[in-house]
Structure 1
Amino acid sequence: MFTIENALIATPDDYSSTKVLITDGRIAGISSQLDTVGTSINADNKLLLPGFVNAHTHSSEMWQRGIMSMFPLELWLAELYDFAPLDIEKVYLSALGTAVETLLSGGTTVVDHLVLIPGKELETIATAVRAYKEVGIRAFVAPLIQDESLAAGIPSGDTKQTHEPYFRSTQATLDIIEEAVKKFHCPEKGINIAVAPTGIQLCSDALFKGCAELSDKYDLCRHSHLLETKAQEKLAKEKYGCTAVEHLERIGYLDYRTSLAHCVHLTDKDIAILAHTKSTVVHNPLSNLRLGSGIAPILKYRQAGVNVSFGCDGASSNDSQDLLEAIKIGSIVHNVTDFDYQHWITPHQSVKMAALGGATGLNMADNNGSLDVGKKADLVLYDLTSLSLLPRTDPIGLLVLGRPVNVVDSAWVNGKQIVKSGNVTTIDVQDLRQELLKHSQWQKSRKSKTAAELEKHYRFVMGL
């Protein structure tokens, strides 16, 4: 039990300094008139916000950030997998790093679309779960699964393409996910397993349907990439004779528990389907720019009533896990897509998307995502005396539109403090830095054999 004193919180028209009482991991009161109960936490000149959600990332990509070629997604993936770490210790360290970077940029929840080591799938999941538990961040571990080979993700065009069968059967993959649910899914302790086929480009209908059945059986969130690139838009028409969104609705994958990363190339009809099914779009602006995928029509989604949240995406397609950076770019990039400035995203709307929008996409808005009595105490205090947040104007405007550096003072998850005075309290971050150094090396470039094999066909089918 503790009381946060003199915290600055946003009101509908302004800001006010108030007390916030936390009891049993939940917000028990918000009022300047509250008595101080339990430990007193001084929040003078600090902004209190609900924790944000890093609603889509891939933790193990951390090992390749800064070195990936300037490729579009389909070739970039080939290079990524040619050099993917097949080392459980690296899975652990990169999950720790993802959690810490998310926390120190305002996130208290992370969705890890986790790349699995072949033959060590459950061990990979267990390792990421262990890392997130140690840090104390709320985690949705969403094992990335597919049942088609990488080459199947590129449209055939007018050519005939044959693809090697995937090394693991659809049912064997679903069995692994169900076993992971039984072993690790524990929402009350902050660890959730989500079903997460990678996307229509590498997954059969049987895999999507099997995941939907597991979602219904265990009440799990559903996650996937969707129409990130023009190539995927072409591929969907080849595979289904309709858009990918129409097809996913037809086979029953879309509902209020479904979050879909990217959604760059959707039709107006697709947007209406997402609104109707209450599916969530996860906006990943930095990776969309880095990979040349395009700018998702987020303003259209918002006007249509589609829920939108923010994600960093993996640390080698964005090359960062700075959630504040993703929120800033993801908000202002749309000022060039719609001349009507009344549609542009304000900083206060951005904060709501990052917190409540993220919570809604994970089916936990009843308990998270806003400063309301009764909700879980997933909270972040920002130090408004930081040089990057001065001089004093609108604190949320400074946070979203500026370039805040080292501004997270404190963070709580379920009422447990895991960041204090700017430092993570649950693990030794200096030791983590040394381990990341020890397990890596400086290098400039490398050649991907698989990317080279796919490049000629990709350029042909995409008209390059």
Structure 2
Amino acid sequence: MNFTIKNVLISTDDGYTTTDVQVVDGKIAAIAPHLDIVGTAVNGEHKLLLPGFVNAHTHSSEKWQRGIIPPLPLELWLAHLYDFAPLDTEKVYLSALGTAVETLLSGGTSVVDHLVLIPGEELETITAAVRAYREIGIRAFIAPLIQDESLTAGIPSGENERNHEPYFRSTAETLALIEEAVRQFHRPDAGVSILVAPTGIQLCSDALFTGCIELSDRYNLCRHSHLLETKAQEKLAQEKYGCSAVEHLKRLGYLGDRTSLAHCVWLNELDIEILAETQSTVVHNPLSNLRLGSGIAPILKYRQAQVNVTFGCDGASSNDSQDLLEAIKIGSILHNTTERDYQYWITPRQATEMAALGGAKGLNMADKIGSLTIGKQADLVLYDLTSLSLLPRTDPIGLLVLGRPTNAVDSVWVNGKQIVANGQVTTINVDELRQELFQRSQWNTQRQSPTVAEIEAHYRAVMGL
């Protein structure tokens, strides 16, 4: 785990410099020109070194439905997803591996997996994901997706009185399940952390949120959730609480500097002030927000209010990709259309800092990862600046963020262990993974969701369509 990268390009406050980076016992030990070689020598010539990015929100097991769910808003899209969702634990394992590979080869060294659990096999589901992430070596933050209300409860009632089927697992049983997952799998020093992760206000009771707060405080866990992804959720919050979802979560005590919140599309000015005050993190998922028609999150307003913002790919059937560089690019330039004053637009350098240090802050890891800083753990990505997609030579970070880099990642280290070399993942056999994903799936273009047919009329009525 000791190595020295020689003559590598790193960014500085006012440009770039060529230097050496020394890693000892998995941590950055020195950054300076002409360092003695400690351990293995790595040739950094014509390469750019950046801290690893965080894929701060995804759902790995959705990989099995990528590319097939039709254009639908989230509430109907979810119904379609769950009608065809039956998985086995081997598929969970393979999709976690695939998510990790795509994340690593697009600059990510950490992944937050809001993991969908197989009913009746919840701990087995988590076991499968943990197995995959440990094998490949990516830093994994597993956030078992939990709820205690049924799917139809996530749609506003409007003027109709509606009864919902009770959820199959009680709140107490769900909280006990998460506590057992913490006992079995929460090993931050070994690269696997468990988060408390109620899916969101739309499908979770206050009792579930407060139970998660208690677990989070007792075990020092980070918190994760979806928040106000759609207009329907904004309406639902008013029905349930008579105030915004953000105000309600603040009253419950769920927000804080260990809390990351995916999407955050439909927030008002007071909501933004609350996020800034509580030091909560927003995870921007621009591609799924566009794919599902959810809206454009007011990211520039968050940044102006000093809210920490980072990026996520979201699940592989609401984005249909786990290309983190693509999410960073779209998540940056999309907002040039929402703000006339270009001085607020996100620069490529700001985008990479959001993706690395911003992601680390949301996971309470800013003192350990997220920047090229002596003493931090060596979660590093080396980019090949001779890659055709990064030529001709101009601004390396500009090319990386604003271009469409392909095959640009040369090497990746997590906690000082190399897991990508010469553009190839070294810890697993990716060809075998490709064959498994191919053999366990089939071409499929036509599917009719019975649940969408059942709830669509009400959804359209309550949304004024």
TM-score by length of structure 2 reads 0.99
What SS does the aligned partner of 2:193 have?
strand
Aligned-pair CA distance for 1:298? 0.2
| CA distance in structure 2 between the aligned counterparts of 1:221 and 1:425, rounded to whole angstroms | 30
Question: Matched residue pairs, number?
Answer: 464
Aligned to 1:352: 353
What SS does the aligned partner of 2:18 have?
strand
Aligned-pair CA distance for 1:84? 0.6
Aligned to 2:9: 8
What SS does the aligned partner of 1:286 have?
helix
| CA distance in structure 2 between the aligned counterparts of 1:363 and 1:64, rounded to whole angstroms | 32
**What is the identity, as a one-letter code, of the residue corresponding to 2:259?**
T
**What is the identity, as a one-letter code, of the residue corresponding to 2:437?**
L
**1:26 equivalenced with 2:24 (yes/no):** no
Aligned-pair CA distance for 1:86? 2.2
Aligned-pair CA distance for 1:34? 1.5
Aligned to 1:452: 453
| CA distance in structure 2 between the aligned counterparts of 1:13 and 1:85, rounded to whole angstroms | 52
Structure 2 counterparts to residues 21-420 of structure 1, below 5 A = 21-420=22-421
Identity of aligned residues (%): 76
What SS does the aligned partner of 2:23 have?
strand
What SS does the aligned partner of 1:246 have?
helix
Aligned-pair CA distance for 1:36? 1.6
What SS does the aligned partner of 1:430 have?
helix
Cα-Cα RMSD: 0.4
| CA distance in structure 1 between the aligned counterparts of 2:446 and 2:96, rounded to whole angstroms | 24
Determine if contact 1:63/1:85 at 8 Å carries over to the other structure.
no
Aligned-pair CA distance for 1:285? 0.1
**What is the identity, as a one-letter code, of the residue corresponding to 2:286?**
P
**What is the identity, as a one-letter code, of the residue corresponding to 1:316?**
S
| CA distance in structure 1 between the aligned counterparts of 2:21 and 2:310, rounded to whole angstroms | 26
Aligned-pair CA distance for 1:116? 0.1
Per-residue CA deviation, residues 367-386 of structure 1 (Å, 9 max, x unaligned), is 10000000000000000000
| CA distance in structure 2 between the aligned counterparts of 1:348 and 1:290, rounded to whole angstroms | 26
Aligned-pair CA distance for 1:2? 0.8
Determine if contact 1:68/1:316 at 8 Å carries over to the other structure.
yes
| CA distance in structure 1 between the aligned counterparts of 2:448 and 2:239, rounded to whole angstroms | 31
| CA distance in structure 2 between the aligned counterparts of 1:78 and 1:3, rounded to whole angstroms | 51
Aligned-pair CA distance for 1:414? 0.3
| CA distance in structure 2 between the aligned counterparts of 1:111 and 1:86, rounded to whole angstroms | 20
| CA distance in structure 2 between the aligned counterparts of 1:447 and 1:203, rounded to whole angstroms | 28
| CA distance in structure 1 between the aligned counterparts of 2:364 and 2:234, rounded to whole angstroms | 28
| CA distance in structure 1 between the aligned counterparts of 2:333 and 2:446, rounded to whole angstroms | 32
Aligned-pair CA distance for 1:37? 1.6
Determine if contact 1:410/1:421 at 8 Å carries over to the other structure.
yes
| CA distance in structure 1 between the aligned counterparts of 2:402 and 2:391, rounded to whole angstroms | 13
| CA distance in structure 2 between the aligned counterparts of 1:25 and 1:160, rounded to whole angstroms | 58
Aligned-pair CA distance for 1:83? 0.5
**1:426 equivalenced with 2:460 (yes/no):** no
| CA distance in structure 1 between the aligned counterparts of 2:434 and 2:129, rounded to whole angstroms | 18
What SS does the aligned partner of 2:249 have?
helix
| CA distance in structure 1 between the aligned counterparts of 2:176 and 2:81, rounded to whole angstroms | 26
Per-residue CA deviation, residues 275-319 of structure 1 (Å, 9 max, x unaligned), is 000000000000000000000000000000000000000000000
What SS does the aligned partner of 2:21 have?
strand
| CA distance in structure 2 between the aligned counterparts of 1:141 and 1:445, rounded to whole angstroms | 32
| CA distance in structure 2 between the aligned counterparts of 1:251 and 1:12, rounded to whole angstroms | 41
| CA distance in structure 2 between the aligned counterparts of 1:40 and 1:64, rounded to whole angstroms | 43
Choose 26-35 or 316-325, whichever is displaced more: 26-35
| CA distance in structure 2 between the aligned counterparts of 1:348 and 1:429, rounded to whole angstroms | 31
Aligned to 1:17: 18
Aligned-pair CA distance for 1:445? 1.8
**What is the identity, as a one-letter code, of the residue corresponding to 2:106?**
S
**What is the identity, as a one-letter code, of the residue corresponding to 2:422?**
S
**What is the identity, as a one-letter code, of the residue corresponding to 1:255?**
G
Per-residue CA deviation, residues 47-71 of structure 1 (Å, 9 max, x unaligned), is 0000000000000000000000100
**What is the identity, as a one-letter code, of the residue corresponding to 2:43?**
N
| CA distance in structure 2 between the aligned counterparts of 1:48 and 1:199, rounded to whole angstroms | 37
Aligned-pair CA distance for 1:160? 0.8
**What is the identity, as a one-letter code, of the residue corresponding to 2:115?**
L
| CA distance in structure 1 between the aligned counterparts of 2:82 and 2:390, rounded to whole angstroms | 40
| CA distance in structure 2 between the aligned counterparts of 1:219 and 1:343, rounded to whole angstroms | 35
What SS does the aligned partner of 1:325 have?
helix
Aligned-pair CA distance for 1:38? 1.5
What SS does the aligned partner of 1:161 have?
coil
5+ unaligned residues in a row in structure 1: which ranges? Answer: none
**What is the identity, as a one-letter code, of the residue corresponding to 2:202?**
Q
| CA distance in structure 2 between the aligned counterparts of 1:424 and 1:2, rounded to whole angstroms | 18
| CA distance in structure 2 between the aligned counterparts of 1:189 and 1:443, rounded to whole angstroms | 39
Structure 1: 4+ residue segments shifted above 4 A: none
Aligned-pair CA distance for 1:390? 0.2
| CA distance in structure 1 between the aligned counterparts of 2:85 and 2:44, rounded to whole angstroms | 43
| CA distance in structure 2 between the aligned counterparts of 1:399 and 1:445, rounded to whole angstroms | 37
Determine if contact 1:91/1:128 at 8 Å carries over to the other structure.
yes
Aligned-pair CA distance for 1:85? 3.1
What SS does the aligned partner of 2:236 have?
helix
Aligned-pair CA distance for 1:35? 1.4
What SS does the aligned partner of 1:90 have?
helix
